[in-house]
Structure 1
Amino acid sequence: MALYLVSRTDDAWWDEYRSVLIRAKDEAAALAMATDPKANNGDGPYGFEGFKPDGSNLSVERLDGRGKATVILTDFKAG
């Protein structure tokens, strides 16, 4: 298993997801999980609000310990 950062390639609106961090066996499995209607407790027409069911507005990046220093994930409660 590896960690995959699934991110939007288009602009997100209010109350939409920009990215999710997923543990999966490969890139295809991560994309399938991100677009699964049962993901996120079914809180949207598909897995995560703003993620197109066909994955056409998403990119998938496998994460590892190499690369430049950067923030990977933040968690902010809106409202």
Structure 2
Amino acid sequence: MALYLVSRTDHHDYDEYDAIVVRAGDEATALKIATNGEEETYGDDVYWDADFQGFERDGSNLIAERIDVRGPSELVLASFNAG
């Protein structure tokens, strides 16, 4: 297992995620975690309720980068986009 930084490649807005850090065996699994959600229905409408608002269901606006876990203690991610 390794740590992966999954971040958006497009513009983000208030109340949306622009990055997360996940533990995964490979990049594909990291992206699968990042694009998780549930299909919801409201009347006749069906929509995708993403676990991480702003992350596209198909991962088209995301990149995953393996984080080297060796080295000095340091901040890994501080991502603040409150609305």
- TM-score under structure 1 normalisation? 0.77
Q: How far apart in 2 are the matches of 1:3 and 1:71? A: 13
Instruction: Calculate the aligned-residue CA RMSD, in Å.
Output: 2.4
Unaligned runs of 5+ in 2: 39-47
Please list every run of at least 4 consecutive aligned residues from structure 1 whose deviation after the TM superposition is greater than 6 angstroms. Answer: none
Cα distance in 1 for residues equivalent to 2:68 and 2:75: 13
| Cα distance change on mapping 1:57 and 1:76 into 2, 3 Å | closer
Q: What amino acid sits opposite 1:45 in the alignment?
A: D
Higher strand share: 2
Q: How many aligned positions are there?
A: 72
- The structure whose RCO (Cα within 8 Å, separation 6+) is larger is 2
Inter-CA distance 52–34: structure 2 relative to 1 (3 Å threshold):
same
Point out where structure 1 has 5 or more consecutive residues left out of the alignment. 39-43
Q: Does 1:28 align with 2:28?
A: yes
% same residue:
54
Report the TM-score when normalising by structure 2.
Answer: 0.74
